[in-house]
Amino acid sequence: MPSEILSYIILGKLAGDPKLSKIVELLTLNEEIIEKPDQILSRLQEYANHCQTKDPRSGSSAPASALVSSSNNEPYRIIYYCSNGKHNPKCLTHKKEECFAENPHLRPQKNNNKRKNPNSNPEAHISTAQALYTNADQRSSPGKLVVDCGATHHMFHSESAFTSLSKDTTLTVTKGDSSSNLIAEGIGTVNLLSNNQILKLPNSLFVPRLNCNLVSLLKIFNKELIISRDDDSFTLTAEGKEILRGKTENNLMKVDYHLLTANKATAKESPWHERLGHAGRSVLKSMGLPPSDDLCKTCNLNKIHRLPFKDHFELAELSLDCVHVDLVGPISPPSISGLRYFLTIVDQATSYKIVHFLKNKSDAFSHFTITKKMMETQQDRSLKKLISDQGGEFMNSHFKQLSDECEFIHAFSPAYTPEHNGFAQRAN
């Protein structure tokens, strides 16, 4: 796992504690420290030592353990804790008579009377979520979102961003600063279009009072995530596939995006049109169903037909005035002798046809030269014009050299227009 991701995971676990919000924010914005998880742990340990020195009554009843940290030039320091209802003599942060482990009645009582939301549904499920960056001065622009390493969920402040949204779930969002919490009024799916790639974000939270749209860094990858940075731009690559690309502004990773929202107008009409076998408007109206004003893509594709090709060749009067060639293949399965292609040669004036079976496409030139020489000998005439498609078996240096030496015109039919080589196409 990259060291930066490990640092973000450590800080993300601590983002929910209001007492640690400031130090977490400072460490997150420090680009030199964020690349070294050991320095992150060292700074957190120094901050804990400072808090305990400032408040000697801040004992703990956690299991006996030792947090070890070090800096570049400082020795290792071990801090001892009290546990199992006994005071640890090695713990110098408080006296025995002030120990919370031996005297649990001295521990301050936590305030569990949380303020309830009067508009919340009492039957709704209430949970908690965390967001590290929620203290922007103003809302972000509609086309930008922030990649948050401390957010436990994807969060959006606009209801129109969701393709599907359920408001049966209410969640409390803990902010990174010490201000009051936010309320997520729903959960759903958001589809983003960034760098011509669609990113689906399920289980995204709808938080109306959120200052900016957030994408949780921990939610967009399962096993491996690589963050590449170049000057003021960055790229997120998960499992070998690039998923997001953006720029860093004020030490924040921001991504340009477009929302892909669902079409709610046809949610009740389109299924009936499809369920009844793509029935017309008159059929839907006769059944008392509302007809859809939108065009059905499947119906339009099936009704499209290709216009007839009215132009035609001016027929040649004499043989070898114009010859058409075409190659067909590869044919599967091949013949017993391994032949997979066949070359069709058609004289336009006489409709004389010759077919050669080939093993490889590269054999087309040699078979054509043999046929050309034979036809010119029998007719006592020279080839004047050759028509073929733009395949590599015809559009190469061999045919170019042959046309220059024998002084005949080699014309190529445009791509995807077999009508321009219709004599050979119909012969196939």
> Would 249 be classed as within a structural domain?
yes
pLDDT at 71: 38
pLDDT at 11 over 50: yes
Buried b (16+ CB within 10 A) or exposed e, 10-49: bbbebbbeeebbebbbebbeeeebbeebebbbbbbbebbe
Q: Helices 3-14 and 21-29 sit at what angle, rounded to 10 degrees?
A: 160
Q: Taking residues 358-381, what's their average pLDDT? A: 86
Residue 76 sits at φ, ψ, to 5 deg, of: -70, 140
pLDDT tops 80 at residue 20: no
Q: Are residues 290 and 329 in the same domain?
A: no
- Residue 131: the pLDDT is 52
The β-bridge relationship of strands 252-256 and 144-148 is antiparallel
End position of a domain, from candidates 106, 136, 169: 106
* Phi/psi of residue 221, nearest 5 degrees: -150, 155
Whether residues 280 and 242 share a domain: the answer is no
Does 134 have pLDDT greater than 70? no
Residue with tokens 């499209």: 304
Report residue 7 CA to chain centroid gap: 24
Does 141 lie in the same domain as 253? Answer: yes
Tell whether 279 and 396 lie within a shared domain.
no
From 33-47, 358-372, 397-411, the region with the lowest mean pLDDT = 33-47
* Counted domains in the chain: 4
Residue 115 lies in a domain: no
Q: Which of 319, 383, 390 is nearest to 353 (CA)?
A: 319
Query: Residue 396 pLDDT more than 60?
Result: yes
Query: Cα separation of 343 and 361, whole Å?
Result: 9
15 closest CA partner among 128, 132, 127: 132
User: From CA 129, how far away is CA 303, in angstroms rounded?
Assistant: 51
Check pLDDT > 50 for residue 117: no
Question: Tell me, what CATH number does 357's domain have?
Answer: 3.30.420.10
> If you search the block for the tokens 């025995």, which residue do you land on?
96
| 125-146: average pLDDT | 49
Question: Does residue 358 sit in the same domain as residue 297?
Answer: no
Integer Rg of the chain from CA:
38
170-190 pLDDT tens trace = 777 776 655 567 788 888 888
- On whether both 215 and 332 belong to a single domain, the answer is no
Q: Do the domain assignments include residue 119?
A: no
Q: Are 227 and 4 in contact (CB under 8 A)?
A: yes
47 shares its domain with 75: yes
Are 371 and 297 in the same domain? no
> Between the CA of residue 137 and those of 201, 206, 212, 337, 394, what are the distances in Å?
26, 20, 10, 77, 66
Distance CA 133, CA 194 (A): 21
Residue 244 falls inside a structural domain: yes
**Whether residues 43 and 169 fall in one domain:** no
Residue type, 65: S
* Pair 76, 198 in one domain: no
C-beta of residue 132 within 8 angstroms of C-beta of residue 216:
no
One-letter amino acid at 216 equals S
117, part of any domain: no
Q: Is residue 113 part of a domain?
A: no
- The C-alpha atoms of residue 138 and residue 189 are separated, in whole angstroms, by 25
Among candidates 202, 215, 212, which has minimal Cα distance to 166? 202
- pLDDT given at position 178: 54
Q: 114-117, long-range: CB within 8 Å, 24+ apart, which pairs?
A: 117/170, 117/183
| Structure confidence by residue, pLDDT tens digits, 44-101 | 877 776 676 555 444 443 332 233 333 344 443 455 667 677 887 877 667 788 787 7
287: containing domain: 265-303
